[in-house]
Amino acid sequence: MKYYIIAGEASGDLHGSNLIKALRKEDPQAEIRCWGGDLMAAEGATVVKHIKELAFMGFIEVVANLGTILKNIKFCKADITAFAPDVLIFIDYPGFNFRIAEWAKKEGYPTHYYISPQLWAWKEGRIKKVKRDVDAMYVILPFEKDFYEQKHQYPVHFVGHPLLDAIADRPTVNPEKFRKEHGLDSRPIIALLPGSRKQEITTMLDVMLDLVPQYPDHQFVIAGAPSQDASFYEQIVKGRKAAFIQNKTYDLLSVAEAALVTSGTATLETALFKIPQVVCYKGSWISYQIAKRLIKLDYISLVNLILDKPAVTELIQGEFNTKKLSEELDKILDEDHRKELFLDYYNLEQKLGGTGASAKTAALIYKSIE
């Protein structure tokens, strides 16, 4: 069978790579062409557009890059036509994927959506596009099934969260060996996860690094995104004392004591490693003002959304500053606070439904087109 997968961000590359691995078990002769990153390429997929070229963040940024986005849409349609896949698989990335899904449905391609767009957060009206253009939806958060089926009468498959697989399948890290390999000393590690897009990394990391002088008994280590070059981070660090480790976020989290994390999938990853964290977010002023009026949620982090409580502190926009960040970091380094948070993390893991998301999704997709 021929599979065409479209992912546009680092998290999609991760989930896409695990899905490809599972698809190959179902269909050893699978021919896979995709929009994705290094992880999907490592599983043998042919990457026609890399996520480095695709991630535009915020309303203003999308408008500024509209010409590039429209060219990508045109190219994608032509590439799908030339490849003639048996199925199209979309992974989140809704602004782009909904456009392709509408076209693909009319052209007669089976359309499957893995990792639902966050319609429950904003642009709920897009449910009409899902019902019209998507043959099968695979959701990974427990409350998403109720959102689709009870609120909108659209049947979906709840497959559990693929991060559980990604974390469970990784090899155990030897802390001493890890420190030695990356030139780290014996001090406790505070991991910095500033995101994957250039715009957010620049904004978030600069504030995070301002904390370094206040914590001489800890060492700060930046988790470099696979989609960015080390030279890009060096321009932001500007001589401040922080180590840099690229494309080994899970290894870093497995040895960290605490983490400062930009809102996104990384907040859930950090929680599943049982690492106390402060969730951070700051966008452009205009983008934030627009988002604030459109998004009707009590929380921005997946951890708090799934637990439906403020388990981890969220510092958003104006609250994301050195003073507040230092205060919250002190709290998550306190032992009593950490114990309470670990209980919340355990409950979070139970809610996510167990391992096997990629395998379940691959089996359902293959069965539907076999």
The full DSSP string for 295-319 is ---S-SSHHHHHHTS--SEEEEGGG
**Average pLDDT of the residues in 35-45:** 95
Instruction: Report pLDDT for 298.
Output: 83
Q: Does residue 287 register a pLDDT over 70?
A: no
289 band by pLDDT with thresholds 50, 70 and 90:
low
Tokens of 370: 């076999």
**Average pLDDT of the residues in 21-37:** 96
Other Cβ atoms closer than 10 A to 367: 9
- pLDDT tens digits for 189-209? 999 999 988 888 999 999 999
Computed over every residue of the chain, the mean pLDDT equals 91
In the chain, the percentage of residues whose pLDDT exceeds 70 is 93
pTM of the model: 0.78
- pLDDT tens digits for 310-350? 999 999 988 999 999 999 999 999 999 999 999 999 999 99
- Provide the CATH topology of domain 2-161+354-369: Rossmann fold (3.40.50)
Q: Does residue 283 register a pLDDT over 80?
A: no
Q: Does residue 149 register a pLDDT over 80?
A: yes
User: 60-74, 100-114, 164-178, 222-236: which has the minimum mean pLDDT?
Assistant: 60-74
Domain boundaries 170-351, CATH class: alpha beta
Q: In the 8-state DSSP scheme, what is residue 86?
A: S
Alpha helices in the chain (DSSP H): 10-26, 38-42, 59-64, 66-83, 94-107, 127-133, 142-146, 152, 162-168, 175-181, 198-209, 230-237, 249-255, 265-272, 285-294, 302-307, 322-333, 335-351, 357-369
33: helix, strand or coil: strand
Domain with CATH 3.40.50.2000 in the chain: 2-161+354-369, 170-351
State the burial class of residue 67 (Cβ atoms within 10 Å of its Cβ: 0-12, 13-18, 19+): exposed
Tokens of 326: 């230092």
**Average pLDDT of the residues in 8-18:** 89
